Structures are given as structure tokens and as C-alpha cells.
Amino acid sequence: MMQHVIGIKDFSRGTIDAILNRAAELESVACGGSSNILSGRILATLFYEPSTRTRLSFDSAMKRLGGNVIDFGSIEVSSIAKGENLADTISVVSGYADAIVLRHPKEGAARMASEFSSVPVINAGDGAGQHPTQTLLDLYTIRKESKLDGVKIALVGDLKYGRTVHSLAHALSMYNSEIYLVSPEQLKMPDSIKDDLTKSGTKIIETTNIDDAIGVVDVLYLTRIQKERFPDPAEYQTVAGSYKVTKDTLNEVKDDLIIMHPLPRVNEIDPDVDSTKHAVYFRQSFYGVPVRMAILSMVMA
């Protein structure tokens, strides 16, 4: 049984594999089935930032397993609007539920929350920091749709502020991967993460040109340029729309290339790519349900 799910670096490869294996066992339940594994259990979802896929997939996962979900709704109608701090909110809510899913704009918020909670805390994204459950569903997607051990992958777009690629890069270092880091100069992967990758023995290739990677990789992982993360709107305008994949872009790719995206997309992937055999991003989104079912069952069952 796991305690908290805060950052992917807290997990060994063995633990990650155990979660992915549990997700595979539960996938049939996620596809319209039901279970009573978490009957009588309550999950509290605290989202201080907007969310569609993460929030709904946790809700779906919990209900597929027979449990119930509570949340505080919008911030405006909660005690947060009265000035309640995160520590007090967590201390209170942990008395109402068996686990807490937290999304917060401040990096490190989930780890701090875990220090005040009497129940497991699951990080659903903390600013530009970590998004471990997204990483786990990404790994599950790669394992199911391509290969995980020894994968060649291009991480494309906002590598500076993108918490999904920060977590994923750390996880991929456990799987003998080769990682192409494709971004504008202003949005390069933080040096601290690159140093960790290099120390782990992971081969990284850094470039601003997507053409350097697209013909050789097994996985093309695109991210949107996140306007909301930029302290200066003018900086955002200089990099908006830096990369866009269309059907024509795919002329020279590997036959078994898969294209992933954590969604929402803005204009990084043309809708004409959706009908190609390479597009797996909508299945990737679905895989969030069995993966989060696995996580919930392992922190609460």
C-alpha cells in the first residue's frame, strides 16, 4: 500500500511497473464495468486550478471502483475565498475523506499538503512542478501502444513550464530511453532536470528543430505552449505556435510512430492528424481512468 503520490522521483521502477500492471488488470472495469474494491471509501478532489481530464478521470475511476467523490466546487464558494490557507483546508478535509487529490498553482503545494494530511495526498499537478499521475498514464500509453524499455521519444514544446514533461523525463530515465528535447530557446528544459537525466545515464539530444527528431523517434510527445505560466505575456507571443504537426509532417516518420499529447491542445496538432494511425492522444486520455483506478486502489484498498 502506498502512502502519498507526490512526485515520480519518489517511486522506483518496480513500484511504477506494479502500478502499470494493476492498471492493465483494471482496464476492463474502466471500459464500462464496475467493482466494489473501494466501496464505502470517499475521495476528496481539491482543484485550485481548472481541470477537465484529470478531474473527471479521477471521479470516474473512483466511481468505477464503487467509491464516492466529494469536492469543494469552485474556489469562489469555498472558505478559500475567505482567506483559509492550504494547510488548514487539508487538515479539515482529511477528516472527511480517505484520500485527497490536489491540484494547486504553487509548486511544492502537494508535498506541503502531505505534511498536514492524515490521509494519502495525490498530486494532480502543482504549478510548473510535477504531475505524477499524468506521467503514469503516459508510461502506460507508451507501454501499450509502442515499447517502453529503450524507447526513443521526442518531448516537444514548452519544456520550461510544462510539468507533464518534467515528470515524464524523470520517469523515462528508468527505462533506458533516448530523449530528444525539442523547444524554443526560451522554453528549454530546466538545467536541473537535464543534469539529473545525464547523471542517470540517459541520452539526451537538445534541439529547436522538430525535424531533427521526428524521423527517428518511436514517440512524438507534444505539449501546448502554456500562456498561463508566462509571467510576461510578451514572452508568450514570441513563442506561441512554434510547432505544429500536420499530415504532411508525417511523411518521413517511422511506420509505427505514435503521437501523444496530454491535452488540451491548441494548435500543436492539426485535426487532420486525428484520423491517422499515429494518433493515440485520445486513447491516452482514456488510459487515465485505469491508471488512476490503480493508484486509488493502492492508496486506499
CATH topology match: 8-130+288-300 vs 132-285? yes
Q: Report how far residue 141's alpha carbon sits from residue 173's, in angstroms, rounded to the nearest whole number.
A: 16
Lowest mean pLDDT: which of 37-41, 92-96, 213-217, 266-270? 266-270
Task: Give residue-wise pLDDT tens across range 209-223.
Answer: 999 999 999 999 999
Return the CATH architecture of domain 132-285: 3-Layer(aba) Sandwich (3.40)
Task: Give residue-wise pLDDT tens across range 233-255.
Answer: 666 555 555 788 999 999 989 99
Q: Tell whether the model's pLDDT for residue 79 goes beyond 80.
A: no
pTM score, whole prediction: 0.92
| pLDDT of res. 236 | 52
Q: Tell whether the model's pLDDT for residue 77 goes beyond 50.
A: no
CB-based contacts of 168-171 (< 8 A; 24+ apart in sequence): 168/8, 168/134, 168/135, 168/138, 168/139, 168/221, 169/193, 169/197, 170/8, 170/9, 170/135, 170/196, 170/197, 171/8, 171/16, 171/135, 171/136, 171/138, 171/139
Residue 121 backbone dihedrals phi, psi, to 5 degrees: -110, 130
| pLDDT of res. 88 | 92
Average pLDDT over residues 51-57: 92
- The DSSP secondary structure of 173-204, one letter per residue, reads TTTT-EEEEE--GGGPPPHHHHHHHHHTT-EE
Q: Report how far residue 264's alpha carbon sits from residue 141's, in angstroms, rounded to the nearest whole number.
A: 17
Closest to 23 in 3D by CA, of 283, 298, 290, 289: 290
C-alpha distances out from residue 121 to 3, 68, 175, 253, Å: 8, 16, 26, 41
Q: Tell whether the model's pLDDT for residue 73 goes beyond 80.
A: no
Task: Give residue-wise pLDDT tens across range 115-151.
Answer: 999 999 999 998 877 889 999 999 999 999 999 999 9
Our measurement of the distance from residue 146's CA atom to the centroid of its chain's CA atoms, rounded to an integer in Å, reads 18
Helix, strand, or coil here: 70? strand
Q: Report how far residue 244's alpha carbon sits from residue 237's, in angstroms, rounded to the nearest whole number.
A: 16
Cβ contacts of 142 within 8 Å, gap of 6 or more? 148, 151, 153, 219, 258, 260
| pLDDT of res. 186 | 85
Upstream peptide bond of 264 is cis (omega within 30 degrees of 0)? yes
pLDDT band at 301 (very low <50, low <70, confident <90, very high): confident
Residues in the chain: 301
Average pLDDT, the chain: 91
Average pLDDT over residues 270-284: 97
Q: Where are the domains of the chain?
A: 8-130+288-300, 132-285
| pLDDT of res. 130 | 85
Task: Give residue-wise pLDDT tens across range 150-183.
Answer: 999 999 998 988 889 999 999 999 999 999 999 9
Task: Give residue-wise pLDDT tens across range 84-93.
Answer: 789 999 999 9
8-130+288-300 adopts what CATH topology? Rossmann fold (3.40.50)
Nine cell digits for residue 268: 500543436
Q: Tell whether the model's pLDDT for residue 230 goes beyond 70.
A: no
